[in-house]
Structure 1
Amino acid sequence: LCRALALDHARAGIRANVVSPGIADTAMPRRVMTEADLFAKGDDIPLGRIGMPEDMVEAASFLLSDDASFVTGQDIRVNGGAGLF
C-alpha cells in the first residue's frame, strides 16, 4: 500500500513512507508480560535491547523532515536488527 501510494502521488510532491516498530517499552507489551520479561526480549535483538518510544519518534521525525525529501515508498524498520538472523 505504501509503495502504491508513493507511486501515485510522487509527481505531486507527496511522499509516503512507513515506520515499522519492533518490540518496544510501551503499554501494549506491558499488559501481557512482566517488565523483566519485556526487557529480556532485548537479548534476542542484535543491538541488545528493546526499543523505546523515542526510537520510533526519531524515525518518524526524520521521515517528516526536509532531510527525507528524497525518500518515498520506504518501510523503515525500527527494530534493533530483529529479523537479521
Structure 2
Amino acid sequence: MADEEGEYCKVCGGMVPKAGDVQQIMVDGKTVGIKGLDQILRQVAEMDFSGPVQVKEALLTAVKATNYVPTKKVGAYEDALYSEYLRYTELRG
C-alpha cells in the first residue's frame, strides 16, 4: 500500500524506509535491516562511555527508537550492534 507519504509495511504498518537508509547486519545468524544505523553509530561514538555495557545499552535504545527488536533477541541485537560499533570506531581511527 502506498500514498503520497510513501509506502507502508504490510507486516507492521510502519513506513517503509527509503533505499540507502537501511543497513543490513547479521543478528543471530540472520540478516536484519537496521534503519539509520550509520547515524546511530556516529551518535553513540561521540558519547563518552566507560565500557561496553553502556555502549550496548545506548546502541539498543537508539535502534529500538526506529526499528523493531524482538524481546527474545535483545542480547543478540546488542552483540551484533556492538560488533558494528567496534568496526565503525576502528575505521574512524
- Is this a same-fold pair by TM over 0.5? no
The structure whose RCO (Cα within 8 Å, separation 6+) is larger is 1
Bigger Rg, structure 1 or 2:
1
Higher strand share: 2
TM-score, length of structure 2 as denominator length: 0.26
